[in-house]
Chain A
Amino acid sequence: AQKITQTQPGMFVQEKEAVTLDCTYDTSDQSYGLFWYKQPSSGEMIFLIYQGSYDEQNATEGRYSLNFQKARKSANLVISASQLGDSAMYFCAMRDETSGTYKYIFGTGTRLKVLA
């Protein structure tokens, strides 16, 4: 069964430092997609970054990068130069195509707190 695991319920990072949020996944599919979302206290989910299973390069979007290690089935999010506004919940998700339609499986999230 498809599964996303985020083992860090909470993380602290000092402002301007880099932080890595862990995500491991389980799938028997060869074709899949991995996503990271940010959820501030307001509740709205914000798409951050995407990695396809066939992408050879790690995805990057501004201060966000995805450390994709296919053999280890991990897709960790790296946030560089943390800012106070980065304090939020972060969710890793995987696209599930096994039913012949596209749906998405989410992890339980990591709460990040950036310290001034």
Chain B
Amino acid sequence: DGGITQSPKYLFRKEGQNVTLSCEQNLNHDAMYWYRQDPGQGLRLIYYSQIVNDFQKGDIAEGYSVSREKKESFPLTVTSAQKNPTAFYLCASSISGGAQYFGPGTRLTVL
């Protein structure tokens, strides 16, 4: 089955910790995206990547970092510099310009 997986489903972070959210796709899509969703809000773009070893900042990149070493994988690290990281994080992939296909999301909570 082709699709996108995200892990973990729930993640708890202590103050000052970095945490990494996993995103893997087997759809052979070139483009991958990370979004943040706060309660009752739309999606805000954190980072995106059109090809391996290249990525661009989105609208709210501060306090986050990514890597794209493989076509299938686009992990997101939430660093201690992100002061309000509690949110729902969604990963997506697409062929260039096409519809996005999303993973099930990771819910991050700061303790």
Contacts and interface: CB of A to CB of B under 8 A. Distances in A.
For A102, A106, A109, which residue has the most chain B Cβ atoms within 10 angstroms? A102
Nearest to A43: B105
A106 to B, nearest CB: 4
Interface in B33-79: 33, 35, 41-43, 45, 48, 50, 56, 58
Interface in B60-111: 88, 90, 92, 94, 96-97, 99-105, 107
B21 interface: no
Contact of A33 (B31, B97, B104): B97
B42 A108 contact: yes
A46 B100 CA distance: 9
Contacts of B31: 102
User: Interface SS of chain B: helix, strand, loop or mixed?
Assistant: strand
B104 A102 contact: no
A46 B101 CA distance: 7
Interface stretch (A11-19, A62-70, A76-84, A91-99): A91-99
B97 A95 contact: yes
A97 B31 CA distance: 14
B56 A47 contact: no
Q: How large is the interface on B (under 10, 10 to 19, 20 to 34, 35 or more residues)?
A: 20 to 34
Most buried by B among A33, A104, A108, A109: A104
A109 B43 CA distance: 9
Contact of A101 (B35, B41, B42, B56): B56
In this complex, the member of B43, B50, B96 whose beta carbon has the largest number of chain A beta carbons within 10 angstroms is B43
A11 B43 CA distance: 20
A72 interface: no
Interface of A: 33, 35, 37, 42-47, 50, 91, 93, 95, 97, 99, 101-104, 106-109
Given A93-B100, A103-B48, 7 more contacts: A43-B90, A44-B102, A44-B105, A47-B99, A102-B96, A106-B35, A108-B42
15 contacts: A35-B99, A43-B105, A44-B102, A44-B103, A46-B102, A47-B100, A91-B42, A102-B94, A102-B97, A103-B33, A104-B45, A106-B35, A106-B43, A108-B42, A109-B42
